[in-house]
Structure 1
Amino acid sequence: MKLKKLVATSIVAITTFVGAFTAEAATSYKVQPGDTFWKIGTKHGVSVSYLMKYNNRTSHLLYAGETIQIPSTVTSAEKDLLARLVEAEAKGEPYAGKVAVATVVLNRVDSSLFPNTINGVIYQPSQFTPVQNGAIHNTPSAESKRAVQEALAFRGQGSGSLYFYNPQKTSNQWLRSKQVTVVIGNHVFAK
């Protein structure tokens, strides 16, 4: 009987221990006057739809003083890597183009056609020129970092772009055959 109790207690302890490491980390946030889910999502780099779902909300209504939970969805290292890619791929492009480049990476993470992590998507062989030429290691601008935060907040709400290219720099017919979703600056975005 003591052995059964010891085994049962051990299983509960192990389950609790493992659960503590697999549970999603979240931080509490006290809503300030003028806050919206969009502002909070952009500030913290969390998808607005996921932020609402995580807090069991169906309405965009927030009250100053209430506390909501901000889930941790992307690490600071992943945000930095994504900002470095945005900087290298979209330097000199309009801000909206930078957001769109980051969104392509996030859409790929969410697609079954590509790796399911930011690192996996960015470092997938032969996908992004900055990885091949070393520009991925350059320091990102504040604007590229801000574009990543906005793309994270916008995640899941766009037109589903999975590709982008500069028609002046590529003759890849397969890429050019994809359905165009939007053109921003020198980049064509497609799915």
Structure 2
Amino acid sequence: MKNTYVKTIIVACVATFTFFIQQNSKAEAITENRIINEENLYLPGQANSTNADPQENNNAKIEIIKKESGVQKVDKKAETVKQEPEKPAVSISNEEKDLFARLVEAEAKGESYEGKLAVATVVLNRVDSPQFPNTVTGVIKQVVGDVYAFSPVQNGEINNPASDDSKRAVEEALTRTDRLSDSLYFYNPKITSDKWIRTRTVVKTIGHHVFAK
């Protein structure tokens, strides 16, 4: 009776021990299989996370494959900078602009483009000054005493057509980017007999002309 009881206890212990071993083996197998499956979701350099989105990882993996194989498409739009033409600060009619260019041509014929631009600038400085008429035409056709302020108007040279340089000088002067220190006068020191104009403050000499204010 006693031997039978001991045998029963031994059998029960062996059965229990075997059961625990089997359960432990199953748990290890499940854990190992889960780790392997989760590792397949991770990418190199990416922190492991049980909450990783398989779709995101797959997309990232595809991108890595593309980069490694050189199949990487870069879609970059080049920025196009449109440079707008500089708008004139002073607006005048085409007829007045033609008169202006003809005066510049007559006064600065034979001078450099810079010299023509300076003459045009003086005319616009006079338009802005309270000492002179407030329009381009008014300044050009101003009468001082019994003569015109500009000799080409007096002698008729203003009626000759303007050169391309004179037209371009007028267009640039109208932008008012350089006011030539607000010069209001210009003269040729070799031919002028006006003593008063020589008393004006000299701003710049360009070619044969002295520009003053």
3-state SS of paired residue (2:86): helix
Pick the aligned partner of 1:151 from 149, 173, 189.
Answer: 173
2:182 aligned residue: 160
For 1:181, give the aligned amino acid.
V
Give 1:33 shift: 3.9
Structure number with larger C-alpha Rg? 2
The answer (yes or no) to whether the contact 1:106–1:155 under 8 Å persists in 2 is: no
The 5 Å alignment of 1:40-189 reads 40-41=86-87, 46-47=88-89, 73-125=91-143, 126-154=148-176, 157-189=179-211
Identity %: 58
Give 1:171 shift: 2.0
Give 1:73 shift: 1.6
What's the TM-score, normalizing by structure 1?
0.64
1:4 aligned residue: none
2:13 aligned residue: none
Unpaired segments ≥5 residues, structure 1: 1-31, 48-71
How many residues were matched structurally?
130
Counterpart CA distance in 1 for 2:202 and 2:128 is 19
Post-superposition CA distance 1:129-162 (Å, at most 9, x none): 1000000100000110000001111257430010
Counterpart CA distance in 2 for 1:99 and 1:165 is 15
3-state SS of paired residue (2:183): coil
The answer (yes or no) to whether the contact 1:164–1:190 under 8 Å persists in 2 is: yes
Counterpart CA distance in 1 for 2:128 and 2:173 is 13
For 2:180, give the aligned amino acid.
G
1:55 aligned residue: none
Counterpart CA distance in 2 for 1:108 and 1:120 is 10
Unpaired segments ≥5 residues, structure 2: 1-79
Counterpart CA distance in 2 for 1:164 and 1:158 is 11
Counterpart CA distance in 2 for 1:34 and 1:146 is 22
The answer (yes or no) to whether the contact 2:183–2:212 under 8 Å persists in 1 is: yes
